[in-house]
């Protein structure tokens, strides 16, 4: 009898570990590095053990995509809760979510992983597009207001991608200042 038979089974821990390894491989080495062998080896799990939790690479990618979208949606909902019930609140919450790294390296990794999946997987890209279309509906239908709020969202997206790519060396006070400018623009758009 091997030690594996004597270990206490912790399926949620193993599943979580496999997804963390998948995210790490995706961010550090790119989508081409995502193989079942690479994930199982780095996680210290047999390939059969991995396939017990995720039958295929696609199942693993889908689970990672679900996890990343859930994290984003949780942060968005958290930002939405602090916004007053006024026009433009959804755009302001989105802008806050894009800026909300709090210096957390894991958050930037999450951004990179979402972007890499959206760029490489059509179903992930479609899911992101659907989420954004629904979000835009929350900004109202008056064209000028909706367009101004969209400009704020696009600026926040630009910040999100610049942060993900380490494009600019912005300190926290400058980030906070830019966030306030965008939030102020959101407020002015709905006046």
pLDDT in tens, 77-115: 999 999 998 889 999 999 999 987 655 557 778 888 988
Predicted confidence at residue 102, as pLDDT, reads: 54
Give pLDDT tens digits for 122-180: 988 999 899 889 888 888 878 999 999 999 999 999 998 898 888 898 898 999 999 99
pLDDT at site 126:
93
For the segment 20-28, the average pLDDT, to the nearest whole number, is 91
DSSP for 140-153, written as a single string: -S-HHHHHHHHHHH
Mean pLDDT for the chain overall: 87
CB 79 within 8 A of CB 96: yes
Q: CB neighbours of 78 closer than 8 A, spacing ≥ 6? A: none
Residue 4 scores a pLDDT above 90: no
CATH number of 9-55: 1.10.10.60
The CA radius of gyration of the chain, in Å to the nearest whole number, is: 20
Give mean pLDDT, residues 17-22.
92
What lies within 8 Å, CB to CB, of 88 at 6+ separation is: 139, 145, 149, 186, 187, 189, 190
Cβ-contact 42, 25 below 8 angstroms: yes
Per-residue pLDDT at 159: 93
> For residue 140, what pLDDT is reported?
81
Residue 2 has pLDDT above 70, yes or no: no
Average pLDDT for 59-67: 91
Q: What number is the average pLDDT over the span 3-22? A: 75
Q: So what's the pLDDT on residue 6?
A: 46
Give the per-residue pLDDT at 14. Answer: 86
Cα diameter, the chain: 72
Residue indicated by tokens 């926290």: 172
CB-based contacts of 37, cutoff 8 Å, min separation 6: 47
């Amino acid at each position: 009898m091997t030690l594996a038979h004597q270990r206490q089974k912790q399926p949620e821990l193993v599943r979580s570990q496999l997804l963390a390894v998948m995210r790490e491989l995706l961010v550090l080495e790119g989508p081409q590095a995502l193989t079942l062998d690479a994930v199982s080896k780095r996680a210290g799990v047999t390939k059969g053990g991995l396939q017990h939790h995720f039958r295929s690479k696609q199942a693993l990618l889908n689970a990672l995509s679900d996890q990343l979208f859930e994290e984003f949606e949780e942060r968005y909902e958290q930002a939405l809760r602090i916004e007053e019930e006024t026009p433009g609140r959804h755009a302001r919450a989105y802008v806050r979510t894009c800026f909300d790294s709090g210096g957390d390296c894991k958050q930037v990794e999450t951004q990179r992983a979402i972007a890499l999946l959206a760029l490489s997987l059509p179903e992930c890209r479609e899911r992101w597009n659907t989420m954004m279309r629904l979000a835009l509906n929350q900004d109202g239908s008056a064209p000028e207001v909706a367009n101004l709020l969209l400009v704020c969202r696009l600026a926040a997206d630009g910040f999100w991608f610049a942060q993900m790519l380490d494009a600019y060396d912005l300190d926290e006070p400058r980030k906070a200042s830019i966030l306030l400018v965008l939030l102020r623009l959101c407020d002015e758009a709905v006046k």
